[in-house]
Structure 1
């Protein structure tokens, strides 16, 4: 019945609050808040997370938000994000002629927006930190990313008020030992701590934190803290017995600290290391004591050998995720040891380990039957038949990433296609021996494939994409730089993949308007399109695509000589959800700039 409220008179507050908590999208939440005053009030009560960027005055914004949203548990402040008042809003306020009675208040308002030097108020300060502590009494998680104006004073005042804090991210903040010691003193429930790029810290602060939060701390991240030495890791090993996750990037940590941590933190599950001074001795201790380890990532290690991976394979039977990046002294034996000793492995990434080749991969295929994701990057010793054992043994493989593996060709891809029928993601970049034969096999056998990226593979042409269009229902396709692909291949995708949401066809010299029209007809769900460096696409094809694909959110179209300012204007006017357009500046008319200047990104071509 018109005029009758069928919701507010029936649903109690508790049920509406629960409904609002299940609305994940911020725009949808904002829409709910506009329905009526009751919904506005309840929606504010239901919010538990807010994000703040480098606004005109983040300190004042914190105070305002704390009054509006009283049940906030997570606060994210990231000063890399630029969220400021619109320029036209500030100008309108300034052009009004003030009366003598309002001159002083208007000047104060202008200063709060612009700051003394235009930059001073764009950073969260110690005053803002105090406001966070005062306003968000239920706070459990605080993330401060590159908040350079926060000092020990602000961190101490915050810590003293937020004793229920469980997670603290101080990445890039210039805090020192005194502030960290205050966190250890007051925040006795802290479980997660990120101190990456906190260059002012020394062992004093971290030791004090370990003494205060050692009983509850489960996750710790350290990077580029040049004054943090083995002393800190020894304290963590002694007091943080419940530690489960450690991410460490350091040039000063040695075996002594890692040995102490491995012996003391035997519940460790996740270990990410980039420490140039650690050798086999430390990693052997990890394999001996950290028997619950599930994820191991080793980056740029040049002082340890196959001995380390032998210890890991012999002791860490629960290992599921292994990343080896730029570990030059490792050979095929390392993969042999881990594959044979860790049958639960599900994710393996080998990046730039130049001594690892075909034999190591055969061991993975033989023993790691649960493998779901394999990434091989810059592995020059992998031969054409390297993936045959993977195809035979890893039946549940869902994702394969290949980058600059020059030896891998069609035979390997055919083996994967025929054996790994549950494959969902296939990314291949600059593997020049991969051609139509391998991709056709994928289209014929991998019916669950939704994400296909074949970048700069010169031998892949239309015949391969026709097979993909007939056999797979893709959501994401990237064929950038595959010069043999033209209209026929993309048309097959348009007709066979109606669920396509993301498409990159950049640098396809033979692609024209006909393919764009077919995409408009067959792929109405497209959100992201990249057609840069496509010389045969004109305003006609682009306009047809824009009018049909009304959900389009981003479009990159630089170096397309057939696209003019009229085509750019068509995209902006037809696609009401468009958020980003990348184009040359001279192709944007004054009218388009006035209408959609905030979403247009320019390529610097003014010479």
Structure 2
């Protein structure tokens, strides 16, 4: 049928691979229009790369992840992927299969190797984007071969690969179009490799990420600042980078728009350079800084007038004055996260509410000094707020949430965790005023009960709901959600001791789109309720059932037999019968294996 993908949604994977084996003519291969491949790198990845590379030359996007496993022959498992395309534009081959003992087979043979990478380069000469995630058996030799054959490469992700300087230098020499490079956890690299890469692709490079590379120092950053004048995004996580390196980038890369720093040896001087030179900066994220103060943040507020997104995490010496400077200078701010900055309080956030009227997302995590007045000001000034995240904010309660609900009618996402002063009153106000809310998470807020969920069900059409640990919530609240939110896709009801089978029956009857449900630690739910739930929820893909004493092996078997799309069941091992294991062993995960 035109406009529907019968291949990806209906054919099992082993049949698709067999079809690929038989595509010998160029016209047949071209008809598949395969442009993107995603495979695991544990199993027999070299065989798959050779198989696909010998048949498809137009592939432009390859993602290989050693954390995902693949085996030959492929286990029988129907494809679940839906697509609106009538051609096979993307192939995903990744499985988590039960591993045999560590003594079986050669470890090198089950990981992507230099030979596989070389075959990939020769088979896919039009490759533009390559991700090699934690491919620990790939070294410089394979990367050199790839670079020599893939001159069109624009994006390269080498996270966790032990490639050396020679391989990176080859990328700089041959891949003159490279724009995006991720070197996170590439422990084999030194300044020599990154300097040579900067010399080679300095004119094209726009994005660079470096983390946990102990031998990459300020020397590399000086080379980046000198040669990569078009750099727009830089992410640095290193204790070996100092002011000198950040200063070089700030002064040498005038087009820098995104800067993420976790460098404990960088001080105010570097931030002052950012404020003076990076006038196009739109996103700034500062993590775990202990050597800069409000002086650095004042410079950013004074110079970076285009700043829209600011994250301040564990920056202990920042205070309200720094946030006030941002509010005064960066009125176009749309996203703000303050995480664990213990000297930032109510006054700093009040200034944001008064000045940054375009704010759409606000996250306050572990902010003990921020009180109700701060969010009341945000409610008055930030009418476009769409997302609010609150974690462990002991000074924020119902008064603040009522102010947000009344003032921020565009709120779509509300996530709250361990804010013990927030109860029914605040959540009821959200239900009454925030009609666009689709994503609600209230975790371990022990003053929230059924009345709050009833109000939400009457006023909002939720797609995602998490009420884990809210022990006052029972069947009445969840039944109201089931009747009022038929679009519900994700539901976490874990650790609700008063929840029983009645709510499961209502969910099964009224929420046919439900894909994920978490019922762990729900002691009153039994096999009866579970059978009612899964009878009509045919789209269910994930179900967590650990520590539910009322659910037995019969209930687990019911989930397997009733849910054709199930991909993950989390349960105790002793609740899985041999028959269920034979039937659906690949989708069952165990919280605790043999002790």
Q: Same fold (TM over 0.5)?
A: yes
Q: How many Å apart are 1:139 and its aligned residue? A: 0.6
Are residues 572 and 144 of structure 1, via their aligned partners in 2, closer, same or farther at CA, if it must alter by over 3 Å? same
Q: Does 1:599 align with 2:591?
A: no
Aligned to 2:196: 208
Aligned to 2:60: 73
State the secondary structure of the residue aligned to 2:247: helix
Deviations 1:305-325 (A, max 9, x none): 001111111111111100000
Match of 1:63 among 50, 68, 88: 50
Q: Do 1:425 and 1:452's aligned partners in 2 also have CA atoms closer than 8 Å?
A: yes
Matches within 5 A, 1:453-532: 453-532=441-520
Q: Do 1:44 and 1:68's aligned partners in 2 also have CA atoms closer than 8 Å?
A: no
Cα distance in 1 for partners of 2:11, 2:43 equals 24
Between 1:480-489 and 1:594-603, the stretch displaced more is: 594-603
Aligned to 1:131: 119
Q: How many Å apart are 1:200 and its aligned residue? A: 1.4
Aligned to 1:167: 155
Matches within 5 A, 1:204-603: 204-603=192-591
Q: Which runs of 5+ in 2 are unaligned?
A: 77-101
Task: Output the TM-score relative to the length of structure 2.
Answer: 0.91
Are residues 605 and 594 of structure 1, via their aligned partners in 2, closer, same or farther at CA, if it must alter by over 3 Å? closer
Cα distance in 1 for partners of 2:522, 2:468 equals 10
Task: Output the TM-score relative to the length of structure 1.
Answer: 0.89
Q: Do 1:275 and 1:301's aligned partners in 2 also have CA atoms closer than 8 Å?
A: yes
Cα distance in 1 for partners of 2:398, 2:405 equals 10
Deviations 1:523-575 (A, max 9, x none): 11111111111111111111001101111111111111111111111111111
Q: Do 1:164 and 1:187's aligned partners in 2 also have CA atoms closer than 8 Å?
A: yes
Q: Do 1:191 and 1:217's aligned partners in 2 also have CA atoms closer than 8 Å?
A: yes
Deviations 1:196-240 (A, max 9, x none): 111111111111111111011101111111111111111111110
Q: Do 2:127 and 2:153's aligned partners in 1 also have CA atoms closer than 8 Å?
A: yes
Aligned to 1:103: none
Aligned to 2:167: 179
State the secondary structure of the residue aligned to 1:380: coil
Cα distance in 2 for partners of 1:278, 1:305 equals 11
Cα distance in 1 for partners of 2:11, 2:593 equals 41
State the secondary structure of the residue aligned to 1:386: helix
State the secondary structure of the residue aligned to 2:41: coil
Q: How many Å apart are 1:345 and its aligned residue? A: 0.7
Q: Do 1:45 and 1:70's aligned partners in 2 also have CA atoms closer than 8 Å?
A: no
Cα distance in 1 for partners of 2:380, 2:7 equals 43
Aligned to 1:196: 184
Aligned to 1:52: 39
Q: Do 2:29 and 2:55's aligned partners in 1 also have CA atoms closer than 8 Å?
A: no
The structure with more radius of gyration = 1
Are residues 382 and 24 of structure 1, via their aligned partners in 2, closer, same or farther at CA, if it must alter by over 3 Å? farther
Q: Larger relative CO (CA 8 A, sep 6+): 1 or 2?
A: 2
Cα RMSD between the aligned structures? Answer: 2.4
Cα distance in 2 for partners of 1:434, 1:156 equals 57
Cα distance in 2 for partners of 1:29, 1:329 equals 58
Q: How many Å apart are 1:386 and its aligned residue? A: 2.3
Q: Do 2:423 and 2:448's aligned partners in 1 also have CA atoms closer than 8 Å?
A: yes
Deviations 1:447-474 (A, max 9, x none): 0000000000000000100100100000
Q: Which runs of 5+ in 1 are unaligned?
A: 1-5, 8-18, 90-113
Q: Do 2:376 and 2:403's aligned partners in 1 also have CA atoms closer than 8 Å?
A: yes
Q: How many residues end up aligned between the 2 structures? A: 565
Q: Do 2:56 and 2:123's aligned partners in 1 also have CA atoms closer than 8 Å?
A: no
Q: Do 1:176 and 1:200's aligned partners in 2 also have CA atoms closer than 8 Å?
A: yes
Between 1:400-409 and 1:590-599, the stretch displaced more is: 590-599
Q: Do 1:29 and 1:43's aligned partners in 2 also have CA atoms closer than 8 Å?
A: no
Cα distance in 2 for partners of 1:507, 1:330 equals 37
Are residues 594 and 39 of structure 1, via their aligned partners in 2, closer, same or farther at CA, if it must alter by over 3 Å? farther
State the secondary structure of the residue aligned to 1:381: coil
State the secondary structure of the residue aligned to 1:488: helix
Deviations 1:132-157 (A, max 9, x none): 11100111111111112212111111
State the secondary structure of the residue aligned to 1:323: strand
Cα distance in 2 for partners of 1:205, 1:55 equals 28
Deviations 1:396-445 (A, max 9, x none): 00000000001110001000000000100000000000000000000000
Cα distance in 2 for partners of 1:188, 1:298 equals 31
Are residues 286 and 28 of structure 1, via their aligned partners in 2, closer, same or farther at CA, if it must alter by over 3 Å? farther
The runs of at least 4 consecutive aligned structure 1 residues that moved more than 6 Å come to 28-40
Q: How many Å apart are 1:44 and its aligned residue? A: 5.5
Q: How many Å apart are 1:69 and its aligned residue? A: 2.2
Are residues 66 and 295 of structure 1, via their aligned partners in 2, closer, same or farther at CA, if it must alter by over 3 Å? same
